[in-house]
Structure 1
Amino acid sequence: MKNLQHYDFSKRFDDVPLVGSAFSGEHPGMIPLAFGFPYPKSFPIDALVESATGALKSEGTQALQYSGGPGQQRILEWIRQRSQLRAIQVNTDQIMITSGSNQGIDLVARTLTDPGDSVWVEAPVYFGALRAFYLAENQLSAFPVDGDGLRVDLVESALIEAAAGKRPMPKFIYVLPNYHNPAGIRLSVERRRKLAQLAYAYNVYIVEDDAYVELNFTGEFWPSIYSFGPERVIYLSTFSKIVAPGIRMAWVICQNPDVLSKMKIIKTEGLTSVLMQEIVSDYLEKNDFENHLEPLITGYRMRRDVMVEAIHEFFGDEVSFEKPEGGFFLWLTFPTKTDTTRLLHESVKVGVSFVDGKAFYLHGKPTNDLRLAFSFCDEITIREGIQKLAAVYKKQKYFIR
């Protein structure tokens, strides 16, 4: 075989990190507190088997064609009605099904921006969104969060500067309002309203990524950012956390038909799995969704409580965190000089993984934060994982030299 010459790939891949659940194959038996996966026993397998069989028997001829069957419209209607809990009033022609929320993020970025355009994000921010924005060749600026979510006051100050020509005006601002990945916090209602007002005032879009909204441990629904500014907010949510991620179904809500039509052009594969839409629509039609959701919320709340109790027991006052009121994640902050990258290397050796905090910031600089997931492991495993992590930390005290 001839020696192959070096091949130059697209420059879009420069400095784009591949972050994810990277420990399982190399380390069998790992306690994967890195995994932002649903609890495996939460999947409604028997009901989905029944729905798959029913969908194929009743709509198979259409569902296996490119254009699909009637389940697509039933899915859109379910989303329309469910969205009212977030004070979202929408028509089904303002909803588009995507192959997971990440595809929605990617489509929004490539529809609203050109390479070099400015996009503003939170700090920390979901690393999947960062990857999409890097690949869209956006110029990113980050704004901190606190216990009430994104510091909208700092965003407003920056928008004033942009309007004065002192910095680029963003094309959109990306926000996770409910049970933030990774920080676990919620954006206050006051800040939601203010953010929508700013979007109108400065003619920017807000991209509202609401992947975890249904996993609400308090039972209190807060109005979406979209509800305060539907003409300037694009809303994203997903079935991944409430049915199963493997079905690869999420949705975009957008009032502007020009935005949706352009997103459909960029979505070159056409319709999202029409067979799976048929199956999921059958499942939602035949099963009480609230009864399906209740054990999910109960289970995740219980595992959250076990993780919080274990952190208090094994770390004491060495660390700090906001107790999440929903979702999958807990954001753990160590003393300022702690190097969580070094801590990760050592914790993997004793069989515990987490996601290093630097994955959630621009430029991936070392941090003293890390993300823990309480969603995937059972209670006994969570407690064991926190105990091992604390032992590693206390034994070595990982500080930046």
Structure 2
Amino acid sequence: MDSIQEIVDDLARTISRSVAVDDQDLNLLAASSHYDDADPARIEALIGRVVSPERARWAREQGVFRAIEPMRLLGSLELGIKPRLVVPVRVDRELVALLWIIDDGRIAADELAAVTVAAGRIRLVLDRRARAREEEWAEVRALALELLSDRPLEGDEIAAELAAAGYFAGSAHFRVLLVSPTARERLDTGEHAAVERALRSALHFLSRHSWLTTQVDGLVVGIVGSLAPLTADRQTAIAETVARESSATLEVAFGGSVADLGLVHRSYEQSLIVRTVRRRRAGRSPLWDDGSSEDLLVGIAAAPIPRHLFPGALDDVLSKESPKSLDVLRSFLDHGGNVSQVHLELGVHRTTIYYRLDRFRDRTGLDLDDGRTRLLVQLWLLAADLGLIGSAES
């Protein structure tokens, strides 16, 4: 079967025009020789093998990624883009390539027919590649599942197999990101392709073999490798891109960084905890690195904490105290017993703060001047807020 480069060269000779083919992310796959019609956009793409962000945005605004049939584009003088004919190439309705021809509208009918034939030949090549790649990815995803299954004795072996397949070359740090729907527990089967597209966009700064994905319990788990640990700003940008690309239907939770691919199951466990806490406590960052006591509590409470392990008087407080009184108690504990900070945070008068704290002492018999008692009450409040306390019968 002909290569894409051969198909492009054949078409360019037939129609005497410059031809190029990009993948679905606007990375250059093949380009013909110039036919005295080159523009700055074409020259830049040939040199860098990818278009600039401004020209990529222009292409998106023209609707080329949604196209199902050839489109004529007027070009952009400001961006150095001449008029073009663009032909989408799809496999099973999924966009796999864009065939670009510099043309001012004078292309003849027989030349259009040649373009259609060339697009069909490109589709066959990419279809065959995709099927071969899917077989490879199935093996890679199986290896990724093994990495996530907490088998440290096999971790080095699995990492070696992934390296042999070309993954994570030059990576010294690894991190898991967990992609899930914002309003549901699991992704639908048809959503996985959309997740892959969103991640390709979010991880554009990494080579394609620096990250991989697999599926666990209806969620997409990504393992990302990098030379240096991803910064907080970079992680936040990834999360924002995934949300934007999915119209806010997807969210990301990050585990921490590990320096050994065989230990990436730890980052995976952390990402699961972040997701759980975010769903139970508003405002929790999607980054494990921004962690707090809630993360630790969720991590160690594999099952609901038996209610009888806490002082019985606390149950009465939870059911009888007003939300405002509980807010005072939380703030008092969060600020290490500093009443002035409680006043500044909640805007509650100091007299009211002391009254509510004294009432708590009277009802429970617990001395909040004692550090260990404060720790016990704070753990109880966190566990209650996170839904970690079992029923009275548990």
TM-score scaled to structure 2, two decimals?
A: 0.27
Larger Rg: 2
